[in-house]
Amino acid sequence: MTRIVLSLALVAASTASAPPASPTVREFRVGPVEAGKVVLELVFDRAGTPCGESVGGTFTLFGSSPGVPVHGPLVYIPEGGCALRIDYPFAAIGPDLVAKSKVDALDWSLVGERQSLPPARPIAWSGRAARETVRMTESTRTALRRFVSVQGVDLGALGLSASTVNVVLDVTNPLSFDLRIADVAYELRMNGGSVARGRTERILLRAGRTNRLEMPVEVDHAGLLAALGSAAMGNGGAGILSGTGKLRLPSGDLDFPFEFPVTLSP
């Protein structure tokens, strides 16, 4: 009997001293991407989450250092549960985060305290959000347009059956480290039809600056003349450059779509 009582006491003591379980993140919302930061929103299930309270502490992604300070309420949301908004500055996205990042899941942690009711109670939450639970609140195409501007479309080399058109882009990399684009495949559409396609590999975007890129697309003469003729007739030669790129990360390549309006001058 003594052993049974002692065992129960030890179990009770260990249970009392164990930290509370981390609440479950139902959805991890990313965006909008604003000047100097990206907005993150963690949507928690109601069960096990102190919805309505305020929390403060340090939030990290993939266990990277140093993390970002967080202070705010767990706001009730109409679809159930509650959400915590976090402003994640670009300055906090460094090589350490990139080296530890994964393309199939997002690891997060929040270490701090619940602050609404005195005394403040410590929290040490962490979890993994599967890729299917991570949702952009705006399209990647929309976000990229804040960092990419089309400077023009210039004629390149002329051939007997095909010509090269260079789409000139200015791409701003706001991060503190270089970005490597493994591959970009793209298409130029004008007057409702495809007039050219192209592919560029191994693009380096230097940190903290605007990078000038020339992306060649090969156009057959019939498509090129039709596009130039449309521009000469006053239609402005308006078109769309769209495609998919692959951002190279230590854990693998991350695909991203893009779409930019372009104008071809005769």
Distances (CA, A) of 47 to 68, 122, 171: 26, 18, 44
Q: SS3 for 244?
A: strand
Give the Cα separation of 192 and 64 in Å (integer): 46
Give the Cα separation of 90 and 41 in Å (integer): 16
CATH topology of domain 19-137: Immunoglobulin-like (2.60.40)
Q: Which residues of the chain have pLDDT under 50?
A: 1-19
Amino acid 157: pLDDT: 57
Amino acid 137: pLDDT: 92
Q: Where are the domains of the chain?
A: 19-137, 141-263
Amino acid 49: pLDDT: 95
pTM for this predicted structure: 0.77
Task: Judge contact between 180 and 204, C-beta under 8 A.
Answer: yes
Amino acid 223: pLDDT: 63
109-121 confidence digits (pLDDT tens): 999 999 887 888 9
Amino acid 122: pLDDT: 95
Amino acid 162: pLDDT: 60
Q: Fold identical between 19-137 and 141-263?
A: yes
**Dihedral pair phi/psi, residue 9, rounded to 5°:** -65, -40
- With residue 95 as reference, give the H or E element that holds it: helix 95-100
59 is written with which tokens? 């939030």
CATH topology of domain 141-263: Immunoglobulin-like (2.60.40)
57-74 confidence digits (pLDDT tens): 999 999 988 899 999 999
Amino acid 250: pLDDT: 86
Q: 226 - beta bridge partners?
A: none
Amino acid 197: pLDDT: 87
